[in-house]
Amino acid sequence: MAFDQKVVIVTGASSGIGRAAAEAFAREHARLVLVSRNETALSEATRSVADGGGTAVGCAVDITSADAPDRIVRTALEGFGGIDVLVNAAGVIATGTIETTSDETWDAMMGVNLRAPFRLIRAAAPHLKARKGAIVNVSSVNGLRSFAGVLAYCVSKAGMDHLTRCAALEMAPLGVRVNAVNPGVTVTNLHRRSGMDETQYAAFLERSKETHPLGRPGAPEEIASLILYLASERAAWMTGETIPIDGGRQLTCLR
């Protein structure tokens, strides 16, 4: 998809969809800035990307920290001289209803899933403009449809979708495209980190066979393939799209 020597920033790059996207860009010989707060996992992901044919540098930072956008952009500029693609893949999930969602949970969901991508887009915008680049945000089917019990997560992803549309409108005259992917349940560590133990997670995946019309959860590599397409020139006339890649989950009513 012509990413040879292109400079790609991927947040959440040490696991899940972010790592799968980074490895896919590496196979296309991109030059990558991998962002994660987990230094050990980041080092391992950086080695994996290098083994896959890409050139990668790690940026170990909490994306919600005040200096994160500047540090990430500076890493790209000092390491590779510019930015062609930004992939906002870092994300967190937590359970909670109107009555049980605490201020701290709400703020955490908004901070990681919405505020941090906005701030990084803002910081990267001049450099993406210089290269007529592209942004791909990793949202969720929860941004397109409401689901009980994950209130703050749903709202944060709906915000991500509208951020995608608004940014696409503003950045189109600059030659920068902005799109989002909206995965259904995908086999990553996301839900485990929300507090599910292995028994609960296995039951959750089994239930996903019923809630997704195609009868299974997704794989990170499947999401990564769409991310690469949206970042490539093959999608040169696409911007502001929020695209379900969810086994048909967004087509269903409450089940």
Cα separation of 223 and 219, whole Å? 7
- Tokens at residue 8, please? 């790609």
How open is the CA angle 111-166-140, to the nearest 5 degrees?
55
Cα separation of 183 and 89, whole Å? 11
- Tokens at residue 228, please? 């690469």
Phi, psi of 7 (to 5 degrees): -100, 120
CB of 59 closer than 8 Å to CB of 10: no
Active site amino acids:
153
CB of 143 closer than 8 Å to CB of 242: yes
CB-count burial class (<10 Å; 0-12, 13-18, 19+) for 238: middle
